Chain A
Amino acid sequence: MAQISTAANMTAAEQRDLAAVLGVDDPSDGAVTWAGLAGQIEPRSDSSFASRGEAIRADLDGRLERDRLERERENIAAAIGRVPAVRDGGVPDGTDGPYTALAAPGWRLYDHLLEAGFFESLDENLPRFTAGHIETTVRELVLADPLSSALDGVGFDEAEKTALLTDVANNSERLARWVPSNGIPAGVEFETETVPPLHQRAMGGALLWIRGLDRHLSQYEVLVTDEILDDAAQYTKAMLGGLFVTATAACDLVGDRRLTDEQLTAAFTAGSAVGIVAQEELCHSVFYITDEMRAPSELR
């Protein structure tokens, strides 16, 4: 079965950048890891992170259903486990295929969060992506043992977990273009009232991209290469990983509360950030097929 790693494209430079964001020294062997970082950084009190997490908890109190969240979290975990088999299946046969199935539990999670006002709450309580917010998010993530363990449990190895951190830490400028809907000023060239909340766009967009792979790959089969299929699987796994982080934090919010308020803020920020970065990468490497990328024509 194919090995699908979200760390396949992670470079040493990206790892060094991650270390720099967190202000820690490069390890002598060059391999920056989640576990290694956790041993090097200290908790830093950030009252805004705590108060944001507290406000989200208060906002959503009684509006989220634990059973539904935990069920779909488990289903998303299972979907992550099926990604290698989907990759092995090659080009999907039609528009309602294996990628649609991978996205299905994510859509159920999305629907419930939508009903509960989850995305509006995040837009209200979380700031836009700034370098400072990103840095604190990564710092809190590294120290969130429950999240780290949860990712271990769904098959993200140390390198893949670290790749999720680099996705968040090293893309603050790119992420900054994704603005909370209430942060877009009036008078722009489009209707701001119809712009969905930022975290709804991040999650909904990721799910549309995953589901859209069935149609795209099957329609474009004559152009599709193994490398394109590999990238499709890799970024799908990353997006599902982002969903899993969000689902895990949501479950914690209504469940055991093992995450601190700071870590809750960080997890919701990171879940969306990973989804955003992965969907943009997927778009670029799987949907935009140039002549240099395409399979040679068998007709000419």
Chain B
Amino acid sequence: MALRNDRAVQAAREIELKEIEDGYTLVGGPDEAVTEQHDTDRIPEVDVDQEMLSDTGEDPESWLMYGGSYEQHRATPAEVITPENVADLELEYELSVGTGSSMEGTPIVVPGDPPVMYQTNGPNHMKAIDPREGEILWSYTYAVPMGVELCCDDNNRGAAVHGDTVYMTTLDSGVVALDRYTGEERWYTSTADHEEGYSATWAPVVHDGTIYTGSAGGEYGVLGFIAAIDAESGEIQWQTDTLLEDEWVGASREHGCGTSWMTPTIDEEAGVLYTAVANPGPDFDGTVRPGPNFPTCGTISLDLESGEFQWGFQSSPHDVWDYDAVAPRVLVRDVETDDGSMDMVVGSDKTGWVYMMDAESGDLHERSEEICQHINMWEMIPHISEDERVPFVPGAPGGNDWQPPSYNPETGLVYVIHQNYPQDLYWRYEEFSEGNPYWGGGLADPASEFPDEWNGAITAFAAVDPTTGERVWREWIESEDDHYMWGGSLSTATGLVFNGTQNGTFVAYDGETGDRLWEYEFDVPISASPMSWYDPDEGKQYVAVQVGGSGWLRQGPRGDTLAVFSMED
């Protein structure tokens, strides 16, 4: 069936992203969700059980969750593509997804004959795909309520799967469950009121029959939380606010934000999750929320069963620069240190460093060498001058925004993407008078003056040794149009690292040296994070990446492509 006859695709295409004063909203969408079935019989009815989920990081034939494993290594054990032969990697096909919207997702693949890929993109559109043939088996568009408030785009970054069900967060701060064999809706659960500014864009994660999901809306004065939802019924099991009551002065906590807007990392051995916590609210005026605003701009650990708080660590306390911690935490096991073996939580944050934390306590093992430049970092506190404006790096997008790092077990290195662009934040000394606005400041992007020290490269892609924090290599990436690099990386068991740039170049790096071993050019930016799987019946390893500009600030022209590359045994 052609995409023009696919009602779900058409419904998604008709949803228009409209810029409003405070961000974006959607207009023109369907009143009810739309499922279009193409060839659902082709989907093998083999339920995904917990063992498959727990082992997916070791299984070259599957990629069953956003981060590639509960530890979010984003590493495939498939070994067909190597540094020696990657120059021969070829495009298998390009599939047009047909929606012309945000493309920040990572597909998942359930093994079988054929395997089935579940791929999502904005606005809340999902497809089941036969990834051998590049053919759509069903498609689905959620009926996002019109008027939903979005800070940054109509993103959706991926699906989760369990049993015979596939799950997607929704832009109105919910989770929808679909029959993965038919694409039909099973249930929908709202985790918060979207009219208060809550939304959801990330892939949820399922463990032991429970879905874990977070919260977004940190520019709208919400109160961040993590929620656990029964995967079968959709019933909320627990919902834990990220902000501890005794860490805030009075009622300032109520709109203190601290959202958690990427996929949590699951530690099956310790029975806890780790996740990043974003900016406090309001963003720029810290005087109305004094104190460190713990644990905003940091990392928290919660008990999987109860949601009870375990520990928190902040990378930018009392933040007034929008230095969220966002990117998924990476759990690296059995790291040898002077004090013995340690399980380590690696957080790559907007502050422009990578933090290696003891998974048990949250204590900092080491902070990396700088990834991006640090120019006038954390200046202007105290903010004393009416006219003082200081361009600073990293700007509000970081450092590392949401782009997921990967960990390569072969090299033992973590690969991170940090932006490196001057912005200009200014506070205004304002005489208060009734009826006049009090913003307390604003963000100039780009900075009105560029600092002399800035090297002219908008992005750094780097490898970090988590045992020492050494920056083993770093590639500076420039962009003629000043586009940010907006997707994450993929590691392979053979020591490769794949990454897509804002210039439309899909690159395979030698993970040890940072040398570019292979490139493929697209005509629009890549804003998504690649994944890989091995199909034994075809005897091929595949690498998939979504292609198209996306996001909040200058990510470039839209695209509409799911690109799949392959190499035979």
Residues of A bordering B, CB below 8 Å: 128, 171, 173-174, 176-179, 181, 183-191, 193-197, 200-202, 204-206, 208-209, 212, 215-216, 218-223, 277, 279-281, 283-284, 287-288, 290-291, 294, 297, 299-300
> Mind listing 13 A-B residue pairs with CB under 8 Å?
A173-B385, A174-B382, A176-B429, A177-B383, A178-B287, A187-B435, A190-B282, A212-B292, A277-B382, A281-B382, A287-B318, A299-B469, A300-B366
Report the bound CA distance from A216 to B362 in whole Å. Answer: 11
Distance (Å) between the CB of B507 and the closest chain A CB?
A: 27
Is the pair A283, B318 in contact by a Cβ cutoff of 8 Å?
yes
Is the pair B255, A222 in contact by a Cβ cutoff of 8 Å?
no
Is the pair B317, A287 in contact by a Cβ cutoff of 8 Å?
yes
Is the pair A189, B291 in contact by a Cβ cutoff of 8 Å?
no
Distance (Å) between the CB of A167 and the closest chain B CB?
A: 11
Q: Quick one: closest B residue to A114, CB to CB?
A: B250
Is the pair B383, A299 in contact by a Cβ cutoff of 8 Å?
no
Is the pair B467, A299 in contact by a Cβ cutoff of 8 Å?
yes
A204 / chain B contacts, CB cutoff of 8 Å: 249-250, 290-291
A208 / chain B contacts, CB cutoff of 8 Å: 247-249, 290-292, 294
Report the bound CA distance from A140 to B275 in whole Å. Answer: 51
Is the pair B363, A221 in contact by a Cβ cutoff of 8 Å?
yes
Q: Decide yes or no whether B3 CB sits under 8 A from chain A.
A: no
Is the pair B250, A200 in contact by a Cβ cutoff of 8 Å?
yes
B314 / chain A contacts, CB cutoff of 8 Å: 216
Given pairs A171-B384, A208-B248, A208-B290, 12 additional interface contacts (CB within 8 A) = A173-B384, A183-B432, A184-B438, A186-B434, A188-B437, A195-B288, A212-B294, A219-B362, A283-B318, A284-B378, A284-B381, A284-B382
Contact flags (1/0) for B69-109 with A, using CB distance below 8 Å? Answer: 00000000000000000000000000000000000000000
Contact flags (1/0) for B250-274 with A, using CB distance below 8 Å? Answer: 1110110000000000000000000
Is the pair B250, A190 in contact by a Cβ cutoff of 8 Å?
no
The segment from B153-161, B231-239, B369-377, B540-548 found at the interface with A is B369-377
Is the pair B313, A185 in contact by a Cβ cutoff of 8 Å?
no
Given contacts A174-B383, A194-B252, A200-B249, contact A189 B287 (CB under 8 A): no
Q: Decide yes or no whether B468 CB sits under 8 A from chain A.
A: yes
B316 / chain A contacts, CB cutoff of 8 Å: 288
Specify which of A174, A206, A218, A288 is in contact with B363 (CB 8 Å cutoff). A218
Given contacts A196-B250, A208-B249, A299-B366, contact A185 B382 (CB under 8 A): no
**Which of A174, A193, A194 has the most chain B CB atoms closer than 10 A to its own CB?**
A194
Distance (Å) between the CB of A198 and the closest chain B CB?
A: 9
Contact flags (1/0) for B399-432 with A, using CB distance below 8 Å? Answer: 0000000000000000000000000000101001
Given contacts A178-B287, A185-B434, A212-B292, contact A283 B364 (CB under 8 A): no
Report the bound CA distance from A284 to B313 in whole Å. Answer: 18
Is the pair B254, A191 in contact by a Cβ cutoff of 8 Å?
yes
Is the pair B221, A288 in contact by a Cβ cutoff of 8 Å?
no
A300 / chain B contacts, CB cutoff of 8 Å: 366, 369, 468-470
A188 / chain B contacts, CB cutoff of 8 Å: 437-439
Distance (Å) between the CB of A98 and the closest chain B CB?
A: 17
Given contacts A208-B247, A209-B292, A212-B317, contact A220 B252 (CB under 8 A): no
A184 / chain B contacts, CB cutoff of 8 Å: 288, 432, 438
B436 / chain A contacts, CB cutoff of 8 Å: 185
Is the pair A177, B427 in contact by a Cβ cutoff of 8 Å?
yes
B287 / chain A contacts, CB cutoff of 8 Å: 177-179, 201
Report the bound CA distance from A176 to B281 in whole Å. Answer: 20
Is the pair B382, A280 in contact by a Cβ cutoff of 8 Å?
yes
A280 / chain B contacts, CB cutoff of 8 Å: 381-382
Distance (Å) between the CB of A206 and the closest chain B CB?
A: 8
Report the bound CA distance from A300 to B386 in whole Å. Answer: 42
Which 10 pairs between the two chains have the least Cβ-Cβ distance? Answer: A205-B290, A208-B291, A196-B250, A204-B249, A190-B282, A194-B251, A288-B378, A299-B468, A300-B468, A188-B438
Q: Decide yes or no whether B367 CB sits under 8 A from chain A.
A: yes
Report the bound CA distance from A206 to B440 in whole Å. Answer: 21
Q: Quick one: closest B residue to A178, CB to CB?
A: B287
Is the pair B221, A191 in contact by a Cβ cutoff of 8 Å?
yes
B386 / chain A contacts, CB cutoff of 8 Å: 173
B292 / chain A contacts, CB cutoff of 8 Å: 208-209, 212, 216, 283, 287
Given contacts A189-B282, A194-B254, contact A177 B432 (CB under 8 A): no
Distance (Å) between the CB of A290 and the closest chain B CB?
A: 6
Distance (Å) between the CB of A275 and the closest chain B CB?
A: 9
Report the bound CA distance from A263 to B269 in whole Å. Answer: 61
Report the bound CA distance from A193 to B369 in whole Å. Answer: 42
Q: Decide yes or no whether B433 CB sits under 8 A from chain A.
A: yes
Specify which of B255, B282, B381, B384 is in contact with A288 (CB 8 Å cutoff). B381
Is the pair B469, A297 in contact by a Cβ cutoff of 8 Å?
yes
Report the bound CA distance from A212 to B436 in whole Å. Answer: 36
Q: Decide yes or no whether B132 CB sits under 8 A from chain A.
A: no
A177 / chain B contacts, CB cutoff of 8 Å: 285, 287, 383, 427, 429, 440
Distance (Å) between the CB of A285 and the closest chain B CB?
A: 10
Report the bound CA distance from A213 to B317 in whole Å. Answer: 11
A200 / chain B contacts, CB cutoff of 8 Å: 249-250
Report the bound CA distance from A299 to B344 in whole Å. Answer: 15
Q: Decide yes or no whether B365 CB sits under 8 A from chain A.
A: yes
Is the pair A201, B288 in contact by a Cβ cutoff of 8 Å?
yes
Distance (Å) between the CB of A111 and the closest chain B CB?
A: 11
Distance (Å) between the CB of B389 and the closest chain A CB?
A: 15
Distance (Å) between the CB of A133 and the closest chain B CB?
A: 14
Is the pair A205, B291 in contact by a Cβ cutoff of 8 Å?
yes
Report the bound CA distance from A176 to B285 in whole Å. Answer: 13
Is the pair A221, B364 in contact by a Cβ cutoff of 8 Å?
yes
Q: Quick one: closest A residue to B362, CB to CB?
A: A219
Report the bound CA distance from A189 to B469 in whole Å. Answer: 39
Specify which of B249, B367, B378, B467 is in contact with A205 (CB 8 Å cutoff). B249
Is the pair A283, B381 in contact by a Cβ cutoff of 8 Å?
yes
B374 / chain A contacts, CB cutoff of 8 Å: 290-291
A212 / chain B contacts, CB cutoff of 8 Å: 247, 291-292, 294, 317
Distance (Å) between the CB of B127 and the closest chain A CB?
A: 38
Report the bound CA distance from A186 to B434 in whole Å. Answer: 7
Is the pair A190, B249 in contact by a Cβ cutoff of 8 Å?
no
Given contacts A212-B317, A222-B366, contact A191 B255 (CB under 8 A): yes
Report the bound CA distance from A287 to B437 in whole Å. Answer: 31
Distance (Å) between the CB of B251 and the closest chain A CB?
A: 4
B250 / chain A contacts, CB cutoff of 8 Å: 194, 196-197, 200-201, 204
A196 / chain B contacts, CB cutoff of 8 Å: 249-252
Report the bound CA distance from A290 to B315 in whole Å. Answer: 11
Is the pair B364, A219 in contact by a Cβ cutoff of 8 Å?
yes
Is the pair A174, B384 in contact by a Cβ cutoff of 8 Å?
yes
Distance (Å) between the CB of A204 and the closest chain B CB?
A: 4
A195 / chain B contacts, CB cutoff of 8 Å: 251-252, 288
Specify which of A179, A190, A223, A277 is in contact with B364 (CB 8 Å cutoff). A223
A171 / chain B contacts, CB cutoff of 8 Å: 382, 384
Distance (Å) between the CB of A26 and the closest chain B CB?
A: 23
Distance (Å) between the CB of A37 and the closest chain B CB?
A: 23
Distance (Å) between the CB of B70 and the closest chain A CB?
A: 24
Report the bound CA distance from A183 to B434 in whole Å. Answer: 8
Q: Quick one: closest A residue to B283, CB to CB?
A: A189
B378 / chain A contacts, CB cutoff of 8 Å: 284, 288, 290
Report the bound CA distance from A290 to B378 in whole Å. Answer: 8
Q: Quick one: closest A residue to B251, CB to CB?
A: A194
Report the bound CA distance from A201 to B249 in whole Å. Answer: 6
B385 / chain A contacts, CB cutoff of 8 Å: 173
Distance (Å) between the CB of A140 and the closest chain B CB?
A: 24
